[in-house]
Amino acid sequence: VILCASAHLSPAPTPTQIIPREQWGGKYEFLLSCIGYCVGLGNVWRFPYLCYRNGGGVFLIPYFIMLFFTGVPLFLMELSLGQYGAAGPITVWKCCPLLKGIGIGMLCVSTLVCLYYNVIIAWTFYYLGSSFQSPLPWSCDAIANAGLCGNGTTGNSSTGKLLSPTEIFWNERVLGVVHSEGLHNPGPVRWPLALCLLAAWIVIFLCMLKGIRSSGKVVYVTATFPYFVLVVLVIRGATLEGSLQGIAFYLTPDWGRLANAQVWNDAASQIFYSLGIGVGGLLSMASYNKFDNNVIRDTLIITTGNCSTSFFAGFAIFSILGHMAWKKGVPVAEVADTGPGLAFVAYPEALALLPGSMFWSIMFFLMLFMLGIDTLFGNMEGITTAVLDEFPHLRLNPLHKAMFLGALCFCFYLMGLLLVTDGGIYWFTLIDSFSTSFGLIIITLFMCIGISFFYGINQFCQDILDMISHCPPWCGKVLLYFKACWVFCTPFLLLVSKQMSINMYNTSLHYGSYVYPRWGKALGVCIGATCCLQILIWAIVAISKETGTLKERFQKSIRPLNSWRVNNANIAAGAQEHMEAERVEAPFTVTLTDMDFTAMAWEQGSQA
């Protein structure tokens, strides 16, 4: 029975049904899900490239500075907020209604990421299927490439550049980009890729059909198998001629690069890219934790594992690229590439030179597939949790929930068809460049400021201590460090990163030899601006719903809703085993005290 009262003892409203919320089957499911979400394709194809491009081992200095003072504090903030609120990216902002737009902005970013990220998985499917051919269709041993490999290259009539069979396979057979003139002429859908994209969305749908109960089991395979492959690749690479040359190229420090602002900007962007901060996935996954889960411990484990994986992946990549450079008699810099070019051009070419190339290719693309699936789980979880929290009746009927998930995946598939046309790579690059840059920094900056100064940094730290019921002494000491970061260091570094990211809008965007037109860049700016403008739009909505002067409206809009404390008090109580039997089939119970008839702590001092 829910007892309700107000200061004037008004009649109690009709009780509403409290829908039980799922929880992870065990702490390892949550840890593996978060590790799988954070350890993605960027750890394999982005970090090693950034490391060698920005001074080798010197890049680790700005990387770890940004990690310790920005990445880890924001990671803990997002996990703690989701676990304490037991809600998704939108509903959790009951703690500060003024900033509800942060959650909606996260939803926009997650939507854009899901839109293009599954296209990468579709490419991976295509290469995985092609890897079962012997010889590999992009190798010089293939009959189709017999006339191209006299000197290992062939001419491109449009650019005059010498292309390898791997580049021709990627640009002509996979992408079909040679048949497109640019953004304005995407051309027809490439149906082999469209079928791969459909298969990828079907896999996502089936794995998420039963929520975290199904995806939590899948990660036991998808989150661990990539580590097995990386270890095998490192061991294999260590036995190859030229591998030490590649590793030396990867790590040799160039101290002069520290003075370059681009190095620091790359370090900041890699932290956001690899940890998945600010897109709602972490917050949503943490919302299914038990109330007393130790989020500080989980943060340290996950962030350490993620960064160690990035560094370790560099040895797997550059040892084999070093072998390819040695075999071709060229410097490593000529065979290294970034982004899709590394995963789908440079590295497959290197694998084709190894004995048993078909086996190594299957292993590599199977690893990429699982890395991509795990990351997409997190992003999709952010979207579905946000919607299900706003429309909780969908949780009651498994059929309705399955229909919603199916409709969501199908809509993403239809929108993703643009990215598997002949010119789809141009749209892919545009969305990838602008969806997670400027807007994501703004979202995380306001999240940090909102929690630290509106909700209250002391209150937030106390919330964390309340969750960690048996807090070891070290937890309290570490929390002082995070407190200093949230108030000073993190906002400052985010502001610096924002300033540096603005420079991206002043430089030309290109893919290969294609330079994006001005209207294309303007469209990209609009994509990024749409995400962060949600904060302003919903802040205006929140203020307009209040009464009084503008100052009074603002003060009211930053106060947590009453249900914020009530819900979490009962979640905490429900975490105790002796309370479980009382919570199975009934709504939560609130026992009124004198405090329920007085102003809450955060209301005191704000009333006239």
Contact indicator for 194, 420 with CB cutoff of 8 Å: yes
Q: Buried b / exposed e across 27-41, counting CB within 10 Å, b at 16+?
A: eebbbbbbbbbbbbb
Q: Is 54 annotated as a binding residue?
A: no
Task: Note the pLDDT of residue 143.
Answer: 84
Structure tokens at 25: 């089957």
**What is the rounded CA–CA span in Å between residue 531 and residue 528?**
6
Rg (CA), the chain: 26
Task: Note the pLDDT of residue 162.
Answer: 63
Q: What is the mean pLDDT of the chain?
A: 83
Task: Note the pLDDT of residue 592.
Answer: 40
Task: Note the pLDDT of residue 576.
Answer: 44
Is the confidence at residue 2, as pLDDT, over 70? no
Task: Note the pLDDT of residue 327.
Answer: 87
Contact indicator for 243, 237 with CB cutoff of 8 Å: yes
Q: Is 476 annotated as a binding residue?
A: no
Structure tokens at 97: 């209604």
Residues 6+ apart with CB under 8 A from 328: 152, 335
**What is the rounded CA–CA span in Å between residue 279 and residue 34?**
13
For residue 503, what pLDDT band results from cuts at 50, 70 and 90? Answer: low
CATH class of 27-545: mainly alpha
Is the confidence at residue 512, as pLDDT, over 90? no
Percent of the chain having pLDDT more than 90? 44
Task: Note the pLDDT of residue 577.
Answer: 41
More confident residue, 228 or 497: 228
* Region of 74 on the Ramachandran plot (φ > 0 left; ψ -120 to 50 alpha; else beta): alpha
Is the confidence at residue 598, as pLDDT, over 50? no
Is the confidence at residue 539, as pLDDT, over 90? yes
Residues 6+ apart with CB under 8 A from 193: 122, 123, 126, 174, 420, 424
Strand partners, 573: none
More confident residue, 595 or 557: 557
Helix or strand run (H / E) with residue 514: strand 514-515
- Per-residue pLDDT of 55-102, as tens digits, reads 888 888 999 999 999 999 999 999 999 999 999 999 999 999 999 999
Contact indicator for 239, 41 with CB cutoff of 8 Å: no
Task: Note the pLDDT of residue 156.
Answer: 45
For residue 140, what pLDDT band results from cuts at 50, 70 and 90? Answer: confident
Task: Note the pLDDT of residue 566.
Answer: 53
So where are the chain's domains? 1-16+560-608, 27-545
Q: Is 130 annotated as a binding residue?
A: no
For residue 14, what pLDDT band results from cuts at 50, 70 and 90? Answer: very low
- Mean of pLDDT values over 274-297: 89
More confident residue, 161 or 467: 467
- Please state the pTM of the whole predicted model: 0.86
DSSP codes joined into one string, 525-594: HHHHHHHHHHHHHHHHHHHHTS-SSHHHHHHHHTSPPHHHHHHHHHHHHHTSGGGGGGGSSS---B---G
Task: Note the pLDDT of residue 147.
Answer: 74
**What is the rounded CA–CA span in Å between residue 559 and residue 544?**
15
Is omega for the bond preceding 135 within 30 degrees of 0, making it cis? yes
Structure tokens at 90: 């939108």
Q: Which residue has the tokens 């037109």?
A: 517
514 φ/ψ angles, rounded to the nearest 5 degrees: -85, 120
Is the confidence at residue 441, as pLDDT, over 80? yes
User: Helix count (H) and strand count (E) of the chain?
Assistant: 27, 4
**What is the rounded CA–CA span in Å between residue 21 and residue 607?**
36
Q: Is 195 annotated as a binding residue?
A: no
Q: Is 105 annotated as a binding residue?
A: no
More confident residue, 161 or 587: 161
Task: Note the pLDDT of residue 339.
Answer: 66
- Mean of pLDDT values over 281-290: 91
- Mean of pLDDT values over 334-349: 81
Angle at 15 between CA 82 and CA 10, to 5 degrees: 110
SS (H, E, C) 357-422: HHHHHHHHHHHHHHHHHHHHHHHHHHHHHHHHHHCCHHHHCHHHHHHHHHHHHHHHHHHHHHHHEC
- Per-residue pLDDT of 174-193, as tens digits, reads 999 999 988 998 999 999 99
Q: Is 9 annotated as a binding residue?
A: no
Quote the DSSP letter at residue 2.
Answer: B
Q: Is 439 annotated as a binding residue?
A: no
**What is the rounded CA–CA span in Å between residue 500 and residue 504?**
8
Percent of the chain having pLDDT more than 70? 86
Task: Note the pLDDT of residue 541.
Answer: 94
Strand partners, 2: 590
Of 332-341, 480-489, 585-594, which gets the smallest average pLDDT? 585-594
Of 213-217, 336-340, 395-399, 507-511, which gets the smallest average pLDDT? 336-340
Of 195-209, 263-277, 298-312, 318-332, which gets the smallest average pLDDT? 263-277
CA-nearest of 105, 110, 106 to 533 is 105
Task: Note the pLDDT of residue 534.
Answer: 94
Contact indicator for 382, 351 with CB cutoff of 8 Å: no
Task: Note the pLDDT of residue 588.
Answer: 34
For residue 338, what pLDDT band results from cuts at 50, 70 and 90? Answer: low
Task: Note the pLDDT of residue 203.
Answer: 93
**What is the rounded CA–CA span in Å between residue 279 and residue 532?**
12
